[in-house]
Structure 1
């Protein structure tokens, strides 16, 4: 086609800002050819010069600063922002990130790919921090859906800006849905029964989308109930929560995963068609090579698996975002004038310091803090180190803990506490090098050259070179194991599992072929640390994790224990200097049982960005209040955590809502340098109907000697519930700053729906009548005041199952059951291998004369399979399950009762054998 001149394209209707937006999009879509529209479905959408349409790319990482584009202001990790419990602050951080993203977009070109740097922000992460061993724990805000949704909404609002027509950036929520494990993440399935799905995982996403704060979501790598998230019907379910259209992007390479590791579809044309029809609008696959994924979509179109309307629907969603980002109205875009000077500007530096300061959590304090001692020894691997994580930008500068304290105190010494060792070949006597060794846990060590301070790194040719100043790469090549072998050690690469050979290359496949290295202790790091501690008035031991080692994207942690070497260093220092404070700088919780019992002070902060050291010093020295509170539970070391793949928070006992053992530090915990008094808890009414609300008022007073902040947490709990209810559940919260002697009355509006649970019998949220308790607390386990609240309304009726189809997943309880996909496109079913049981409570069987069940079964049929229905000890029916020809081929098996059933009972179904059950139905004689 002939290209139009620039002046001609300016006169086209889609360029006319006076027209309604949908009309402009209609005009542009109609002018694009089918080939041009299909090409827009890839992450790198090409330019269409004939229409004056520029290239477009989805996605700039913007989790806690603009990432991967060079120097940009680096704020605390998301879990650290979560610890602030401060929506206003989180929004301000997002505004700064978005302003810098705009500056990159307008003034710098992308290093790779087509077009300018994207204004679509791939942030925030809304996945809940169910399991603290999750490798990407640092990316989420909280283990609680209310807390997460509130902060995510604030972050999205900050990214998008306040203009009614144009957005500063376009926020995309990650990762939909139930994504909280890294090991085998592309093939594992998160089993979500309806209560967990609606009360927990969807509950974090729904308020953000219903508020209109997000412009899209990114689908997750994992499967949910046996179906990959990229073809989940839940994608279009979330689109029903808001009148705002959502632009849904795939995660990197996930469309190809549908065939390759997951084997969910037979070929890529089929899988890409299914993803497009399920609601994926942009395919992030094969990097910049759009030819492969677009070729697959063209093949799907040729084979009739998709049609033009499927393509157009996705293209329209993309164009809506592009129009709202001002791409077609540069003269009207209120954000077009943002200049490069905003990157790392003074205002953003101040905000980085403030946000890091507000994220610091004081876990324990027996009077040691704030520090008053003149001589301070800072000890530990993170005392003079600031780490980047995978989604960090490059900080313009780094203020470490030592830097921050030295700026305020005259006598601060630093000792890393690392052993310095020389490794010499047993075979040749050649020196491999002299290294300072740091234990990061899981037997993963880093070896830093004693002279240059650079990390030993495994090169692609299997040689070892100490040349890395920073650990930040997808394949971490700087971690090793030193395995004892008699009086020598073996050097093993964590990445490849191979050992160093006599020639210095890491090529030995077995221990037998590995070189033996003589390990000479040049400096005893623990002895140096003890000496420094003895010479000081106080010791500050800074321990924690490196975000790229042992717990990162693609790798979960095996445990929550501190690295053994770090724990030993801490104990050695405390032995000679009891006045020792532990500072944990980490992306996730650790088990700190010993430290809590033996040390006078324990502090936590996430990796807090470029201002970490000044923020930490401000809190340690009392220049600032420790305003943070834990966004997730910190468990004890001997607390046996559920299996990482058990996503049933209710039955497994995950998070503060359901965990049965007393944690070391509960959700919401954090101490202050001042004291607060809670009084005068009042409810506007002692009762509420099921659709009503009450106002909850409480007075908070600062009774201490200094100004401080408190996070007032409003929890609710059901008493004598007919279902397994949470111990407590966060309903609202507010951060309050008070001067000494000052008090403030807070009023929370509590709708009855905050007391709701997902009723599996009705398939909707329900507020049961009965007794509840409203709790004002400092943490999930620290109740300050409580008041009873009665919900008034009709009692729930028995479950109707006669002449009504009951889905198998709508059970009240279960044992040895897995939730699976009923078809590739939609629906859930249950399966058991061996024997599994489902319970359905308070079921009205009156008038039932027949039972029917929808089953599927594949295999050779050599083992019997049957489905048993019982009420108490009474056997109602035993149905033999035949072979049906495949797992998605469904048949109905049935049995008649000798006489009509009567009454309300608890129903028990037992599945014997390997088959699937989608639903059952009791039939009456009518």
Structure 2
């Protein structure tokens, strides 16, 4: 770096780093997408979506998948050296709410399990050489990011307990394991401050490892600091703040580094940055490049991976193994497996539904070398059976009223014109309804989807795709029975051109749209009922298209199956009660009556090229089902809670706190053999030893296979806090261990309990605390299927009460009402202020000993621009342990100036109890000092 000019160093801060031939440095670019395979770079093996991969609970499998992905990244790099060996994967945001549009990209609702799976995947991506890395993984997206709507401007509220117990652990595990070389902040704000300028959070991140850690911005996030969030008034200010906070590489304006160079240069000229600040970021980038072997190619053990190491036979086999391992049997009345020594093989099988013969892609999918769907795979495996496949789509014709002719698909480019006199095959369209009125239209003649992305409507798409999907439409029925069609991607309505009769997407109003008469050629429900009624067993394959109604930039509207899929299910089960519901999806569903009606329910993620064979392996019993849910399937959309409420403690969300009965619990999944749990053992007591934690300890249980097939049992341990614990109720995964037992075999299974599952964050003292008391240990098959209960007594000190001489951060409250965490200053610290729309609010600090305290001194300020009906007021008051109120102090008129204000504590109220601080209007507080008599 010492040989680089300042201009060269500034240019290195952009994602697209120019070559420096005089120093032997090639051009470099951060970020190859590799979420579940190499994305957007041509043919590559497509493994299951991360949520499906995690459902295996198998870290060795996940590591092997990561290793295969890294091999294919290296192969792409060998073919094209501009392909970056810095991969932007994995996503480790805990799956807090199933309405999140990017649910498929994460691993688990539980942060510890997320960290465990992420560490395994990163280990595979990194490789095992001590010095050189196969690829350099990047954790996404730091921090508290689980909503797509307004994702770049919403602020996630993270009280210290939620930050330290729920959000940070997902990142800390892989960082501490030394398998991560970079981290990407998320678009959103946390506690009112954009994550890209949150220095305290990035400092915390880097404190977990002595190794260099590059921080790369998310795409366009630097510009968003000024243009969207309007947190800064100039690019010079925003780039200086981000660089000082710890961001090292700016992903902005695609390959055009000009704006980044301009803004960093302006920041230097204005004295907002020094060259040392630039150097610090450049060093981290060079250290990342050094790890890849770029600067020592002769020593790089991975440099020999050839360009053709793509779609290897072992990768195909691994994709199928991973698919099967992630299949979760949610319910089974005995109909599964379809084959076995004690049952007759079905002679006729119907496979119906929109996913019966389709394998769908998500935004981060690569281009698979082949696709194998469920219907084809079952037909191959059940070669002696007659397998009928019906997609359940209505087949229709649309006759334009303006011409009296049908829409028809023309060869060779698939242009749609209103030119058919008859509703023959070229004029027939298969309508698949994905819910909320969004449909795809597929040509019956060519099997291509209609697309409206280029003005002229053509049947030229093999699948829904693109940043803005161009293959989705809405059908509108007029009061006179006519229909009009809207192109969702553009918002425009379809119109038939005069003269050419070409169908185009240029009508801006419904009045200008073409009106069609709709003719139903074939009822999808009727075809499903016919096929199901003639079968020995029917498999109904439903789910989502990953580009529709739930994806990056779009959260889900609800958790319900699409109405059309519900009707397909109803038609099938009414015709044949031997119906298996196969849900292939990116996220959980609230299944309603279908969950009770189904003879069996199975789930798979969109598992990529081997979806059909892997799912078939489990359905027929060639592979024992080992998948377990890594997130709760709630019973209704209402049970999912507010997607924007990140305070899982007060919201009582996630399986840690939620008391509503789930449809299928966290950790749930059935095998084909029964299990019984016998005698358990655990230590009677454990001691707090260091950093507020106990040492790891083991619990054991005797497990017996009561079936006639091999049992793959995932023994899970859940830890509940003691009654009367200062933190209240919480129950979380403490450990798990898988055992394989032969029929009739019994074995004692030991599970190591993670000390973190007993600890809570003591916000009063800013440290971990494992409170003394009796902790309940539930051993079983899920978070609610408990087979045995033990307890362990924790021996250690109680957390001291706050008292005379203590200073406590205002955000260290125990309960809060109508207050938000807000910045103390734009770039540093956190305070409390009244929530938007509220007149007042209060924070309660529990177990405060006021015996010798005569006054409470608060760091407070009146904040200009504070929202709310009482913004012209700025008052503070205390509610003391005896219920009395101390004063009502109005803050000085000066705004955004922190000052100390004093509220007295009468002698009658000086006792142990709850201290409440009440804020009104534009008042903010940063910390409290518990003071005594002046000496």
- 1:884 partnered with 2:898: no
1:639 and 1:661 in contact (8 A); partners too? no
* Correspondence 1:768-779 to 2 at 5 A: 768-779=771-782
Stretch moving more, 397-406 or 710-719: 710-719
**Matched residue, 1:837:** 842
- 1:158 partnered with 2:124: yes
- 1:399 partnered with 2:372: yes
2:734 and 2:754 in contact (8 A); partners too? no
* Correspondence 1:164-243 to 2 at 5 A: 164-233=130-199, 234-243=201-210
* Correspondence 1:847-926 to 2 at 5 A: 847-853=852-858, 854-859=860-865, 863-871=872-880, 872-886=882-896, 889-897=897-905, 902-926=910-934
Tell me, what secondary structure is at the counterpart of 1:573? helix
**Matched residue, 2:475:** 482
Query: 1:518 Cα shift?
Result: 1.0
Stretch moving more, 827-836 or 350-359: 827-836
Deviation track 1:817-867 (CA, whole Å, cap 9, x = no partner) reads 221111111211122131212111111123333333222321599732311
1:877 and 1:897 in contact (8 A); partners too? no
For 1:491 and 1:615, how far apart are their aligned partners in 2? 38
Tell me, what secondary structure is at the counterpart of 1:466? strand
For 1:787 and 1:899, how far apart are their aligned partners in 2? 46
Query: 1:737 Cα shift?
Result: 2.3
- 1:732 partnered with 2:735: yes
* Unaligned residue ranges in structure 2 (runs of 5+): 339-344, 409-427, 498-502
Q: Give the TM-score, by structure 1 length.
A: 0.94
Tell me, what secondary structure is at the counterpart of 1:505? strand
For 1:920 and 1:308, how far apart are their aligned partners in 2? 39
**Matched residue, 1:6:** none
- 1:757 partnered with 2:760: yes
The alpha-carbon distance between structure 1 residues 586 and 302, as it changes in their structure 2 partners (threshold 3 A), is same
Tell me, what secondary structure is at the counterpart of 1:121? strand
Deviation track 1:885-912 (CA, whole Å, cap 9, x = no partner) reads 34xx323333445658522121112222
- Root-mean-square deviation over aligned CA pairs: 1.7
Deviation track 1:655-682 (CA, whole Å, cap 9, x = no partner) reads 1111121000000000010112222311
Deviation track 1:862-888 (CA, whole Å, cap 9, x = no partner) reads 7323112012420122211333334xx
Matching residue within 284, 287, 295 for 2:262: 295
Query: 1:914 Cα shift?
Result: 3.0
For 1:916 and 1:432, how far apart are their aligned partners in 2? 64
The alpha-carbon distance between structure 1 residues 915 and 515, as it changes in their structure 2 partners (threshold 3 A), is farther
For 2:839 and 2:127, how far apart are their aligned partners in 1? 55
* Correspondence 1:3-42 to 2 at 5 A: 29-42=1-14
Deviation track 1:704-761 (CA, whole Å, cap 9, x = no partner) reads 1111312111211112133344542111112222222333333233354430001121
Q: Give the TM-score, by structure 2 length.
A: 0.93
**Matched residue, 2:319:** 352
The alpha-carbon distance between structure 1 residues 526 and 753, as it changes in their structure 2 partners (threshold 3 A), is closer
For 1:795 and 1:470, how far apart are their aligned partners in 2? 59
**Matched residue, 2:412:** none
Tell me, what secondary structure is at the counterpart of 2:590? coil
* Correspondence 1:696-735 to 2 at 5 A: 696-735=699-738
Tell me, what secondary structure is at the counterpart of 1:155? helix
- Tell me the number of residue pairs that the alignment of Structure 1 and Structure 2 aligns: 888
**Matched residue, 2:335:** 368
**Matched residue, 2:33:** 61
The alpha-carbon distance between structure 1 residues 36 and 408, as it changes in their structure 2 partners (threshold 3 A), is same
For 2:278 and 2:902, how far apart are their aligned partners in 1? 44
Stretch moving more, 898-907 or 249-258: 898-907
**Matched residue, 1:784:** 787
**Matched residue, 2:272:** 305
Tell me, what secondary structure is at the counterpart of 2:672? coil
Stretch moving more, 697-706 or 474-483: 697-706
The alpha-carbon distance between structure 1 residues 539 and 750, as it changes in their structure 2 partners (threshold 3 A), is closer
For 1:165 and 1:367, how far apart are their aligned partners in 2? 52
* Correspondence 1:247-266 to 2 at 5 A: 247-266=214-233
**Matched residue, 1:332:** 299
Query: 1:241 Cα shift?
Result: 0.9
For 2:852 and 2:719, how far apart are their aligned partners in 1? 40
- 1:666 partnered with 2:665: yes
For 1:819 and 1:626, how far apart are their aligned partners in 2? 45
The alpha-carbon distance between structure 1 residues 523 and 214, as it changes in their structure 2 partners (threshold 3 A), is same
1:362 and 1:602 in contact (8 A); partners too? yes
For 2:196 and 2:95, how far apart are their aligned partners in 1? 21
2:348 and 2:535 in contact (8 A); partners too? yes
1:884 and 1:891 in contact (8 A); partners too? no
